[in-house]
Amino acid sequence: MSDTATETSFAERMARVYSAAWDPAVKLVLLAPEVVGTRTSLESVLAKFPDLVPSGLLPLAIVDDASLAVVATHDLPELAAQGEVLRLFTTAVADEYQLALLDVDPILYVSSLAEELAARPVGINRILDEIGPAYLESHISHQKRPRDYVVRPIRIACQNVILGMAAIAQDSSFDGLTVPAWQTCEVPHVATHEGNRALAALMLCDAFQNGGTLEMRFDRKVQLRVPRKNGKGTQTTTYNGHPEEKVPASLRRYGRTVGVLLGAEIPGAITPTEARALFEAITPMPASLRARMATVTATYGLTPERVCFALLSGVWTAIELDFLLATSARAVSILGGGAPWTDRAARQAEAEACRAAVMTGMFLKRVDAVDAALAEEPEAARVVEDRKRGVVWAIHDDAAVVTLGGLDATTTLPWSASHPGTDQLHLVSRAAVTATTVSLLEQLVAHSENPVALLISRDAPEPTCPPGVIVLRCPDRLADIDKTIEDRLLTMRISRA
């Protein structure tokens, strides 16, 4: 079946879903009228959740123990168009995760389930019983790093629950990745399609680092070589591509939700064009950074996948990249690994921009973290969770000033001399405080109602600041910051060489 929804009425599409001859595995999760003979009838679910249909949602399938796939029976403003398939959690979750998009059409969704479930037993056995043990025997047990062309397994897990498994290898015959195994699933405590997104992001980053075309093929013959137990020679197993013999249904389903049709040009492959579109779609970034990336891409020829790789691999954070693209004319060079050491002037300019960006990123990480430590109990253990406060930022290009909003006004401002908290702050991050910096600080204090802060390194000389400016000292020395920067530049320099 095509991955595009047909122009038929909603009633006709649902009739096709209920009348199709689905495999037994699909009938275990499909929610259809009793006459269809699915394990769980539509009527029983509607009896348990009587408010669904009046709210414009029709149960379609069981996703997992705590969520259902539901179809929008009509256009739901700011939520879904008619026919889109959403994930309804039956337990309490944050509003941002409730009713996330699962697919764009009920027929496409159930058809993709049929393809996925039919190939799942073979795929799981392949990765767990064959590729995994072979890699353990050939590389992990010998503490040996695999070459790019070696078939190597990947697992994505959250709280000891596996979300996705795959196996990849670089194939020189088409200069891309070959993928003989790919399996993902939805679990109650993880956001919708997160397994697909994380696994796709990891594979795209690997493809970028390998310097290939980003093409990923699921229909290529792959040979798995395992050392024999007697130590004499190797045993070879041949796979004729992925068990589904084309781009996996779960990955195509995820692609539709982000507006990228995968396998549209070649059913068994994600072409370089599709891979680049997917790379951009799955990389989380604020609107300001996305706009700046588009401008720099069009003006200076910076490839979007380089920005995506820098973000997804953690080389640079979103605010650091946003700051560099907004304030430095050397941003393209920095993302390429920096200027050569012989160009001293360019290196110095890049170092100043990177120092300010790194300190800004460190400060945002500190103020955005939720720290449950009690100030009145200094001896108590600190509990810092991976939840975010939701601090937002805006960067003023010409002045290289970052305005932070959504700060915690009830606690002391971090890295300051017991300065009271604030909900908004103008942040000027500098490695060296010059007369121009002092003049900028004076203007900000005179014309802004929000507090103004100067962020410097721990070992920087005491600056002469205008009255009213908060001096923040980063916990790292300038030498530590420079070492961090050089490590990041090296990663970008040797990636996609």
Within 13 Å, how many C-alpha atoms sit on residue 246's CB side? 15
* Per-residue confidence (pLDDT) for residue 369, from 0 to 100: 84
CB within 8 Å of 315: residues ≥ 6 apart: 309, 488, 491, 492
Q: Whole-angstrom Cα distance, residue 128 to residue 131? A: 7
pLDDT above 70 covers a percentage of the chain that reads: 93
Mean pLDDT along residues 61-84:
94
Bridge partners, residue 397, by sequence: none
State the pLDDT at residue 5: 57
Contact status, residue 20 vs residue 126, Cβ threshold 8 Å:
no
* Across 291-312, average pLDDT: 92
Instruction: Give residue 348's pLDDT.
Output: 94
Per-residue pLDDT at 17: 95
Give me the pLDDT at residue 302, please: 87
d(CA 107, CA 11): 12
The answer to whether residue 1 scores a pLDDT higher than 60 is: no
Q: How far apart are CA 105 and CA 83, in angstroms?
A: 5
Segment 391-403 mean pLDDT: 93
Give the model's pLDDT for residue 375: 45
**Mean pLDDT within 120-128:** 93
pLDDT tens column, 34-54: 999 999 999 999 999 999 999
As a whole number of angstroms, the distance between CA 379 and CA 208 comes to 47
- 166-212 pLDDT tens trace: 999 999 888 999 999 999 999 999 999 999 999 999 999 999 988 88
Q: Per-residue confidence at 376, pLDDT binned at 50, 70, 90?
A: very low
Q: Is the pLDDT of residue 229 over 80?
A: no
Residue 76 DSSP one-character state = B
Q: What is the pLDDT of residue 374?
A: 45
The CA angle 357-359-362, to the nearest 5 degrees, is 110
Asked whether residue 469 carries a pLDDT value surpassing 60, the answer given is yes
Q: What's the confidence (pLDDT) of residue 248?
A: 96
pLDDT (mean) for 223-249: 81
Higher pLDDT, 4 or 215: 215
Is the model's pLDDT at 385 over the cut of 60?
Answer: no
Provide CB contacts within 8 A for 203, sequence distance 6+. 154, 166, 168, 177, 179, 216
The three-class DSSP label of residue 168 is strand
Region of residue 38 (phi > 0: left; psi between -120 and 50: alpha; otherwise: beta): beta
Q: Render pLDDT for 189-198 as a digit per residue (tens, 0 to 9).
A: 999 999 999 9
Residues 33 and 19 sit within 8 Å (Cβ to Cβ): no
160, with CB counted inside 10 A (0-12, 13-18, 19+), is exposed
Whether 444 shows a pLDDT value over 90: the answer reads yes
At residue 483, the pLDDT reads 96
pLDDT value of residue 381: 56
What confidence tens digit (pLDDT) does each residue in 81-91 have?
Answer: 999 999 999 99
Distance CA 480, CA 472 (A): 17
What is residue 88's three-state secondary structure? strand
Please tell me the predicted confidence (pLDDT) of residue 313. 92
Instruction: Give tens-digit pLDDT for 401-429.
Output: 999 999 988 888 999 877 888 899 999 99
Residue 2 has pLDDT above 80, yes or no: no
What pLDDT is recorded for position 356?
A: 96
Is the pLDDT at 301 greater than 90, yes or no? no
Residues whose CB is less than 8 angstroms from the CB of residue 265 and which lie 6 or more positions away in sequence, other chains included? 271, 273, 274
